[in-house]
């Protein structure tokens, strides 16, 4: 009975999330006629597939974090099913619905609620650490007044100190937490954020011919990290919508005009949504193929 209720709750959350996504597409006004057919295909076919691969890498990172809290084998397929399907729920109002959806879907897929809760909390800590680490690195090596305007160096240092203390506490209470696993997760997150910023750089290269030199790639990386971080910590911003785009526009105002900055930010948002929807449907496909395994798990649990 509980499983049926949770299954229904998960479907309701998913439907509501797709309604919000549809509203985002309806409200976006892009003049796509300015682009060639090849560029449109690149924007809305190739890039979303690459984004979906980065979502899979995020799922793999969460799986690695899950293994820090349990000695039981964790299925990559089941973790991806939970992660990708719950990821859609982040577009609902608030910044926590994807975590709530994980708890619901995780129960259906026989993942322990305690493990999901702790792993989601540690995931937030490690994501924050990765982003703030690179922001602090840029802040220390590149004298950017604009960056200092948005993120004070003392705040960055304080956040990183808090993260390190949290990791020490986790290491003390959870024996499966190892430095090697931390490095693997950190590396995954680094690849993901570099990948996201590369997509944003390619968008501006195609739309306004922004050169893909080292300086511009580093600058876009910095812009993306700051926009992602502020969108991530802003309460009530589903998926960081509006917040990240605003930060991107403000930080790029000295490099490109606001209209071009806005168009690039909106294209990236649409690419990210399409990529996450692709990951969702692939997760649904994997879950369907995993039904025999899930039935066997049901029989074992009684």
Arithmetic mean of pLDDT, 210-222? 87
Number of neighbouring beta carbons within 10 Å of residue 189: 21
Torsion angle (degrees, nearest 10) of CA 193, 100, 270, 204:
-20
Number of neighbouring beta carbons within 10 Å of residue 198: 18
Exposure string over 112-134, b if 16+ CB within 10 A, otherwise e = eeebbebbbebbebbbbbbbbbb
Q: State what percent of residues in the chain have pLDDT above 90.
A: 20
> In the predicted model, is pLDDT for residue 112 greater than 70?
yes
**C-alpha span between 159 and 163 (Å, rounded):** 6
> In the predicted model, is pLDDT for residue 298 greater than 60?
no
The model's pTM: 0.81
Number of neighbouring beta carbons within 10 Å of residue 76: 12
- Do residues 268 and 240 lie in contact, with contact meaning Cβ atoms separated by under 8 Å? no
- Do residues 245 and 239 lie in contact, with contact meaning Cβ atoms separated by under 8 Å? no
pLDDT of the residue at 254: 76
Q: For 140-158, what is each residue's pLDDT tens digit?
A: 665 555 455 555 555 555 5
Tokens of 136: 């602090």
**C-alpha span between 135 and 83 (Å, rounded):** 26
> In the predicted model, is pLDDT for residue 271 greater than 90?
yes
Q: For 10-61, what is each residue's pLDDT tens digit?
A: 566 556 655 654 665 565 556 655 677 787 888 888 999 999 999 999 999 9
């Amino acid at each position: 009975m509980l499983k049926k209720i949770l299954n229904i709750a998960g479907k309701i959350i998913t439907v509501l999330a797709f309604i919000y996504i549809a509203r985002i597409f309806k409200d976006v006004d892009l003049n796509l006629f300015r682009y060639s057919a090849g560029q449109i295909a690149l924007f809305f076919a190739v890039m979303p597939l690459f984004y979906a691969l980065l979502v899979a890498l995020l799922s793999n990172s969460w799986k690695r974090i899950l293994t820090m809290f349990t000695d039981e084998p964790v299925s990559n397929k089941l973790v991806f099913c939970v992660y990708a399907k719950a990821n859609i729920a982040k577009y609902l109002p608030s910044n926590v619905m994807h975590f709530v959806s994980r708890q619901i879907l995780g129960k259906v897929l026989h993942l322990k609620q305690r493990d999901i809760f702790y792993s989601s909390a540690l995931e937030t800590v490690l994501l924050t650490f990765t982003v703030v680490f690179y922001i602090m690195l840029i802040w220390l090596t590149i004298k950017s007044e604009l960056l200092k305007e948005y993120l004070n160096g003392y705040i960055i240092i304080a956040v990183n100190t808090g993260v390190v203390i949290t990791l020490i506490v986790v290491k003390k209470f959870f024996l499966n937490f190892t430095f090697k696993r931390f490095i693997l997760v950190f590396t995954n997150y680094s690849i993901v954020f570099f990948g996201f910023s590369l997509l944003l750089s390619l968008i501006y290269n195609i739309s306004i011919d922004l050169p893909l030199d080292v300086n511009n790639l580093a600058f876009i990386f910095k812009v993306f990290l700051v926009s992602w971080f502020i969108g991530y910590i802003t309460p009530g911003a589903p998926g960081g919508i509006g917040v990240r785009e605003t930060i991107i526009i403000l930080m790029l105002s000295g490099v490109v005009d606001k209209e071009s900055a806005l168009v690039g930010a909106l294209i990236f948002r649409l690419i990210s949504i399409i990529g996450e929807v692709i990951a969702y449907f692939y997760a649904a496909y994997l879950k369907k193929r995993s039904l025999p395994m899930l039935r066997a798990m049901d029989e074992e649990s009684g």
